[in-house]
Amino acid sequence: MFSSTGIGSHPGEDHLEALRVVFGEVPGLPYLPELPARGVGADMIGRTAGLLVELPVEVQPSGWRLTGRPGRDHRRALDHLSRDLDGLEEIGHAYQGPLKLQVAGPWTLAASIELPHGDKVLSDPGAVRDMTASLAQGVADHVAAVRRRLPGVTEVVLQLDEPSLPAALRGTVPTASGFGRLRAIEEHVVVESLKGFDRPVVHCCAPNVPIRALRVAGVRGISMDTFVMSRRDEDAIGEAVEAGVLFFLGVVPGVDTVLPKPAKVAEPALRLWDRLAFDPVRLAEQVVLTPSCGLAGATPGYARQALIAVRKAAEVLADRD
């Protein structure tokens, strides 16, 4: 069972070096890193939008927008991903074990991309359904392509990045003009949308993660930041743990800071487990330690040290068995 990993994004523009760091420092669950510093199409939204089936996108001054046919921006996103997959094959050709892939989830994508001549996709329930189906197919194709390149991969762990999900549920996502707010999404609609993906891990570093809704949706895991976690979350976390949900807990900042010793890094997870009064054996089985969010805003040296820190802290959890 994997015990530590990263969230996804890395600093800089050298994808081969980022892959070497990932495979070297979190070998239990390496992942395909994202390097948004490379520009248009390497950002979280553009990278994922490039996977959409029959829904091409382009960049406008206001951001990403659906368009009639693929253009330069769409091709740029695909080119970045193709180079990343080439690098993944080069660095990981002999790898055997699980691998994590990250994409923006349907609600964050819908809250970020605009319709061709209107508001954000999130404003149109029919467009949201179409985008969700397109994303599910594109992700399945992406996973299949990775499996072809790395035949030693035993399983693909799919991570859906959903920083906008709490805002979508609360009705606080701004309209394209910025002068209004889009209507709140009902929880059961979110639950149904996530069932179209193969038991994903849903990552959300914003407060008010909808833990119960994610559990009902049947997700494999929930990835959240311990620095914004509140005591109000703990009942829902306990219910999810009882249901077998994995928790990917962010325990070190995603930007440069002085990192404490492994035992101190592991403390938030240990304290949570003690308050929930679960068997220590389940701690190592159901908790995966990560940085609190992506590492794109860090220096390369800190990014490496953050992954080392969560790997060593995970060893502390294992010692509690």
User: Around Cβ 305, how many Cβ atoms within 10 Å?
Assistant: 17
Confidence of residue 232 (pLDDT cuts 50, 70, 90): confident
Q: What is the mean pLDDT of residues 171-177?
A: 92
User: Around Cβ 13, how many Cβ atoms within 10 Å?
Assistant: 13
Q: What is the pTM of this model?
A: 0.96
**Digit-coded pLDDT (tens) for 77-107:** 999 999 999 999 999 999 999 999 999 999 9
Residue 305 lies in a domain: yes
User: Around Cβ 256, how many Cβ atoms within 10 Å?
Assistant: 16
Residue 11 burial (CB < 10 Å; 0-12/13-18/19+)? Answer: buried
Residue 2 lies in a domain: no
Closest Cα to residue 293, out of 99, 44, 124? 44
Question: Is 16's pLDDT higher than 80?
Answer: yes
Amino acid at 204: C
Confidence of residue 280 (pLDDT cuts 50, 70, 90): confident
Whole-number Å distance between alpha carbons of 321 and 177: 53
Residue 5 lies in a domain: no
Domain total of the chain: 1
Residue 6 lies in a domain: no
Whole-number Å distance between alpha carbons of 60 and 220: 36
Residue 9 lies in a domain: no
Domain containing residue 226: CATH number: 3.20.20.210
Q: Which domain covers residue 283, as residue numbers? A: 15-318
Residue 56 lies in a domain: yes
Residue 10 lies in a domain: no
Question: Is 45's pLDDT higher than 90?
Answer: yes
Question: Is 190's pLDDT higher than 70?
Answer: yes
Q: What is the mean pLDDT of residues 268-277?
A: 92
Residue 304 lies in a domain: yes
Question: Is 39's pLDDT higher than 80?
Answer: yes
Confidence of residue 321 (pLDDT cuts 50, 70, 90): low
**Digit-coded pLDDT (tens) for 135-158:** 999 999 999 999 999 999 999 999
Question: Is 122's pLDDT higher than 80?
Answer: yes
**Digit-coded pLDDT (tens) for 195-222:** 999 999 999 999 999 999 999 999 999 9
